[in-house]
Amino acid sequence: MLRSWRNLDRVCRSAYGPFAMARNIAVHGQTNRAQLEPMMLSDPTDCFPDRERCAVHSARNMMQIFSLKLAEVSVNTSSVQLYGYIAVRDCLDSLLNYIVNRSRDDPITVQQGSLIEMTGPKRGITMTSPVLVEFDMRIRKGEREEDDLQLIDGAIDCELTTTPLRPITNHINGDCGAVDITLALIPRAVEATIDVIISEVQTEFSLSLSSFVFVGGSHQGIELFCGIIGESCGLTRRYVIAVDKASWMHLMFNIGQKGSKIGDLEHHCRFKADIHGCTCRQIILEHASISLKVTWSIVR
């Protein structure tokens, strides 16, 4: 079951009775960032009989957030500047594992109906018990913070037994708009940490990077990056994805170059899910080099 609460700071403590992490949630002012890192068990020393046939470590139920979309906004303008956070709390450390976290000085510009770029989670989201999705997103209106508008504020209670096994979109209504969050429970999942480095950029180009994971009987996409890669900056990014252990994870690159007459180029890589280890790939383009490293681990 998904239960939504508005104005999280005014919710009584008893509302969080189902949560083992209740003593640490935001009603107590606990807004600390999650401390645990990804890849905690990518190279363990206690596997038996060995790492390839390990019977000590096993896949876990995990949550995957597939997308965030600015569904509605009350401001009569073509785009808005958003700041604030959307994060999850699970039973590993009960602290905020940010999916989005933007300061007022660094807002993201989004149009109604467009995706909100996800820069998290920092590590995989375990779902061996309920997960709390917490949010406080605002619309920047000008120089003064008191003029800003509240987009959404509250939390969603995601129960283990009733969170869907295929991606379902939840509509979060707020004071000045709404956000759609699409998520699913992935049973028997492992954590994939994707490190992407784009270097040796010779000319500016557009890049769309998506991951496709098997869930609910089909492959579902997660947009990881969509933007321009400049000559001077390149790109270094890390993404953490939950993947069904018995499946493959696919990465799709769509590359466009200004003035090109041959259209966008597509590159596709796939990686077999595992509980430990890593795999590296190199993609050499005419105008850049893309280095990929996928590290597999289980969440504790």
Pairing mode of beta strands 60-73, 177-199: antiparallel
Domains in the chain with CATH codes: 2-187 (no CATH), 189-297 (2.60.40.150)
Pairing mode of beta strands 235-244, 265-272: unpaired
Nearest Cα neighbor of 288 from 256, 249, 251, 240 is: 256
What pLDDT is attached to residue 32?
A: 78
Which residues of the chain fall below pLDDT 50?
Answer: 1-24, 26-28
Give the sign of the dihedral formed by CA 144, CA 146, CA 148, CA 153: positive
Nearest Cα neighbor of 179 from 90, 82, 262 is: 82
Q: What is the pLDDT of residues 189-228, one digit of tens each?
A: 999 999 999 999 988 889 999 999 999 888 999 999 999 9
What pLDDT is attached to residue 133?
A: 95
What pLDDT is attached to residue 33?
A: 81
